[in-house]
Each structure stands twice: as structure tokens, then as C-alpha cells.
Amino acid sequence: MAKAYTIKNTTERLENADASTLYKAGCLNWKGNTKEGSAYSEVIAEYLLKLRVKELLSQIPSIKREDYNVEHEGIIRSVSNRHEEKFAIGVLNKSLPFLGRIINYQVPLKSRQSDKTGKIDLIAYRENQKNAALIIELKFMENKETLLRAALEISTYYRMLSHEYFLASYEKFKGLKPQNIRKALLLGVDTQSYKDARNLENLPNVRRLLLDLELEIYGLRIVEGHPEIERIAF
């Protein structure tokens, strides 16, 4: 960013934001420091914690979509995120470390065309002592979005998800309860969000927010055409 803003200028950008579109606020992707010297992500995370953003997001009504088990033709249709789609197609029906088996990708949240929301990048089924359904936000290649933005995006999608219908859409989720749905970020090592995740010791407010939102974070590296996954503890 060429211009630096004050802490007040920065938080003012969020004062009138609607809960369902909060993750789209442009300031979430600001890099660098305010005029006072504090990192933008730290200032925003502190503000959101004081705002009790977890409670704020919980007020977002779910979108009643009865079937999330969409079928794909394996054809990449989007120009803007074709690398993500290519990766998703490549890991479909495969098991990834920590995440489990990927059972779908690019799953719409909307029920009607007029609904203004995005898609869940990846859906996984993790079978262990605590079986779980994972909704995963994927940041790939050299994506410039911050960790803060990615965290709010998947947390918003989680609230928009009609949990009962989502679980009923997949045979593998039979017997799971809404509390078994987990939120995860899968971050390519060249992305800004991965760099942020590896710098959390210097971003204590962001770390507190991630813990409050109950997220799982994983790094993604492609080695000789194969995905390698690392768990990022925080």
C-alpha cells in the first residue's frame, strides 16, 4: 500500500459492515502498518475481538439449500481461479494427510440465484476417533489475500451453511451432528495467508481471533506434482 492509514481510519472501515459481508471488507487485505506503526491485521483483529465477532457471525441466518452434493464434469470453467479448480479436481476422492478424503469441491452455498455468497472450495470426510465433516477454504498459487480475510470467509460460510441439510447430502456424513462440522484453511506456501500463518508469533491478536473462531490451518506444498500437507499449530 502506498498510503498509510491511522488506526481510527482503519477500524472505521468496519463500523457499518454487515456481518454476512464483513469478510469482503477491503481493509482486511491491507498489508503493512498503520501510521502509528501497528500492523493492519493486528489492529483489525483486536477490533473484531472487542466487537465479539464470533457472536456477530452467529447471527447470520443460514441459507436453506437442500442438497449440497453437486456433481461436476471435471471441466475447469472459471478463468479467475482455474489453478484452484485444477488442484481440486486432482485431489477429488483422494485422502490427504490431516484432512481426510476429499469428497467434493466448489460447492455453492446459495439456494437461489439472487443469494449473494460464494462456494465452499473443498469438502472432506475425516474418519478417526472423532469423525468430522470439513469445509475447507483453499488459497492457492500466489493468492494475495491475508490470513485474516481467509479466516473470516470460511467462518462466514460456516454460518451460511444449512448444517442439517449439508450432513444429509452425503452418505459418509451419516450419523454426524452439526458439532462435527469443522472449518479449515488450506494455504499454499506461496500465498500471503500462509506467510501470515507462519508469522503468528508476531500477530498475537490474529492468533487469538483464529482460536476464537475455532479454525484448523494447514499448509500446502506441491512436490513433483503431489500435494504435501503440513499442520500449522497455533
Burial of 171 (0-12, 13-18, 19+ CB in 10 A): exposed
Separation of alpha carbons 140 and 72, rounded Å? 20
Torsion of CA 202, 204, 210, 212, to 10 degrees: 170
Relative to beta strand 215-223, strand 226-231 is antiparallel
95-96 sheet: strands from edge to edge? 95-96, 100-108, 119-126, 132-139, 181-188, 215-223, 226-231
Quick one: DSSP state of residue 208? H
Nearest Cα residue to 25 out of 50, 48, 4? 48
Q: What's residue 114's pLDDT? A: 63
> pTM to 2 decimals?
0.93
pLDDT in tens, 5-49: 999 999 999 998 899 999 999 999 999 999 999 999 999 999 999
Quick one: DSSP state of residue 63? P
Q: What's residue 82's pLDDT? A: 77
Q: What's residue 84's pLDDT? A: 85
Mean pLDDT of the residues in the chain: 92
The residue-averaged pLDDT of 186-206 equals: 97
Q: What's residue 108's pLDDT? A: 93
pLDDT in tens, 41-84: 999 999 999 999 999 999 999 999 999 998 876 555 555 567 88
pLDDT in tens, 107-158: 999 887 666 688 999 999 999 878 999 999 999 988 999 999 999 999 999 9
Domains and CATH numbers, the chain: 62-231 (3.40.1350.10)
Max Cα distance, the chain (Å): 53
Residue 96 has φ and ψ, to the nearest 5°, of -115, 140
